[in-house]
Amino acid sequence: MAALDRRRLRTDSVAKSAHHLPKADDTNEFSVSLAKAVDPLILALDVGSTASRGSLHDAQGVPIRGYRHKVPHSFTSAGDGTSIIDADQVVEELASIIDAVIGTRKELVGRVKGVAIDTFASSLVGVDANHRATSPCYTYADSRSTPQLAQLREEVDERELQQLTGARLHTSYLAPRFRWLRENEPEQMAATKRWLSLGEYFHFRLLGKARAGTAVAAWTGLLDRRTGDWSDRMLELARIDRSQLSLIARPTQPILEVPSGVLQRWPALRDAHWFAPIADGLAQNVGAGGRDESTIVTSMSTSGAMRVLVHRTPEEIPYGLWCYRIDDKRSLLGGAINDVGRAVDWAARTFALPEGVDSTDIADRPYRKDLPVFLPYLTGERSTGWVGGAKAMALGITESTGPEDLARAVMEGIVLSLGRVAEQLKEAAGDVDRLVATGGVSQNVPGVQQLLADHLGRETIQATFKRSTLRGTAVMAAEVLAPEISAAEAPRDHTFKPREKHREHWDRLSERFEDGYSKLIGS
C-alpha cells in the first residue's frame, strides 16, 4: 500500500480491535445477521462534523450486525471564522475503521463488492506533487472568505450563476475560498498541485488516484449543473485552473484497480469497487427513504437541511435554495442551515441550564409569548439569505429572561429557519406525500420535531434508526452493484401531528423573526 506508506498511519491502538468488533446495540434494531445478509455486501464510510464512521451493509441497504466502528473528532474553530480539520487525521481514522470492521476476517472474503464513502460538504484539501497535504481541510463552516464573497457579488449577477451551478455564492463554496487562499496563503497556493475534497484525499492517499463524484463536485459551487462538468465561467471567477481539480466521475464509474498493499492489508476487499465520494446530505436523504419526489427529508444533525431528490433537472431554482446535480437524471433540491445540533448543544452549555434540566425538557415545555426571538447563525447563514458572515442575534431579551428561556428561543429559531427553506421548497417541488425527519436532534430531542410540525402545519415522520447517512452511502453503491435488488424500506416510528391551537403563536413569532432577519440580511 505504497500511497499510505509515505506517512505511517497510527493504527496500532485499533489493531487489537480488528478481531473484536463493536457489538450491536440491540438484536431488534434495523439490521441483519451476516448469515442472512443479501449479497453483494458494501462497506460504507462516513466523515461527519463530529466523527468518522464505518459499517457493513447488504445489497438492500440493511446494516449487518456487529460490523461497525466510530472514531470521534471535532473541527478546530476560531472567532475569525476558521473551521478546519487535519486531513491526515481523518485518513488515519478511516483506515482504522476499515481495520476494525473488515480487518482480515475470512468470512467476508468474496462477499464485499463495494467501498463507498461520503463526507461533509463542502471540503477542500491541497496536495503537492508527492501526495502530501499542503493545507488543512477547510470545512463548509469556514467563513474567512467573507470579504472575497462580497467582492464576487459586486462582479457578477448572482442569480445567473445560481441557475448555472445550482448554488448561490457563499463562503461554504469554493469560488470565494480560492480567492481567499490566493490572497492570504500565497505560499500554500504555490506549493499545491491539486485541490481535492476530503473524500478524494482519502482515495489519493490510499489508492494513489482520486476522482470527484458528481455530487461532491456539485457541492463546490463550480459545477455546471446541466453538463455535469466543471464550469469554465466559475473556474475563471475562482481563479483556479481546471488541471488542479480532479476528473469528475458519475456514480456508475468506480475505481476498479487498487494497489496490492491495500489488498494485502484487507484481503476481503480484493473484489471491491471503490466508489467516488458523495456528499453527506445526499447520503442522508437516500438513507432516510427520500429517493424520489414523494418525500422531503429534514436533517437535524450538527447542521440541518430540507431536501427532495427530483428525477429531473429543474429549469428554474428559487433564489434561496440550491440544486445539486447527482447524475444525468437526478438532482437534489433544497436548502441548508449551518447550526442545528451545534446550536442546541451550544445553548445548553452556554446558558448553564439548571441541574436536572436538559434540552429534551426545554423542547417539551408549553409555548410562551414572552420569549426572545433567536436567529441561530453561530457559524454564518446559508439558506435562504446566504449571508456567510452572519452572526447569531437575540431580540427581546429582558431582565426576566432566564437561561431556559434562551435555550427554548434557540430551538424555535432553528425551526423558523427550516420553515423558510420549506416555504421555498414547496414553491419548487410542490406538495409532497410525506416529510421525514432524521438526525441526532430529531432522535435525542424529539420535541424539536413537534415544534417543526406545529410551525409547518403538517405531519412529520420520525426516522428512528441511527446512521441513515451510512445507509444512504451503501444504497447509492448498491444501485450500481445490484440494480435488480430493491432497497429495504427504512423504518420509521412516531408521527408528529400539527397542533392547530399553536398556529397563532407561530404566525406571531414568524413576524418577529422576519423583522430581525431582514435587518440581518440588509446589514
Question: Could you tell me the mean pLDDT of each successive run of 10 residues in the chain, 523 residues long?
Answer: 40 32 46 97 96 98 97 96 97 98 96 98 95 96 94 96 95 96 97 98 96 96 97 98 96 93 96 96 93 93 93 92 95 94 95 93 96 94 86 94 97 97 88 89 94 96 88 97 93 89 96 92 70
**Do residues 159 and 188 touch, judged by C-beta distance below 8 A?**
no
Whether the CA torsion 510, 441, 139, 435 is positive or negative: it is negative
Q: What is the Cβ-side half-sphere exposure of residue 239, based on CA atoms within 13 angstroms?
A: 12
Output the pLDDT for position 493.
Answer: 75
pLDDT score for 427 = 83
Provide the pLDDT for residue 458.
94
Here the cell at position 51 is: 466523527
Q: What is the DSSP letter of 334?
A: E
- In the chain, what are the domains? 2-281 (3.30.420.40), 337-462+496-522 (3.30.420.40)
The pLDDT assigned to 20 comes to: 31
SS3 485: coil
pLDDT at site 255: 94
Rounded Cα distance between 304 and 161, Å, is: 24
Amino acid identity of residue 480, one-letter, is: V
* Other Cβ atoms closer than 10 A to 370: 9
User: For strand 248-249 and strand 76-77, is the pairing parallel, antiparallel, or unpaired?
Assistant: unpaired
Residues in contact with 255: Cβ distance below 8 Å, sequence separation at least 6, in sequence order: 203, 207, 209, 211, 273, 274, 275, 276
Distance CA 295, CA 287 (A): 12
- Residue 380's beta-bridge partner residues? 378
Residue with cell 431556559: 404
pLDDT (0 to 100) of residue 490? 78
| The C-alpha cell that represents 273 in the structure block | 469497487
Helix (H, G, I), strand (E, B) or coil at 250: coil
For residue 523, the model assigns a pLDDT of 59
The Cα 172–Cα 165 span in angstroms is 14
Residue 24: the pLDDT is 33
DSSP characters over 87-125: HHHHHHHHHHHHHHHTTT-GGGTTTEEEEEEEE-SS-BE
Q: pLDDT value at position 97? A: 98
> Does the pTM of the predicted model rise above 0.85?
yes
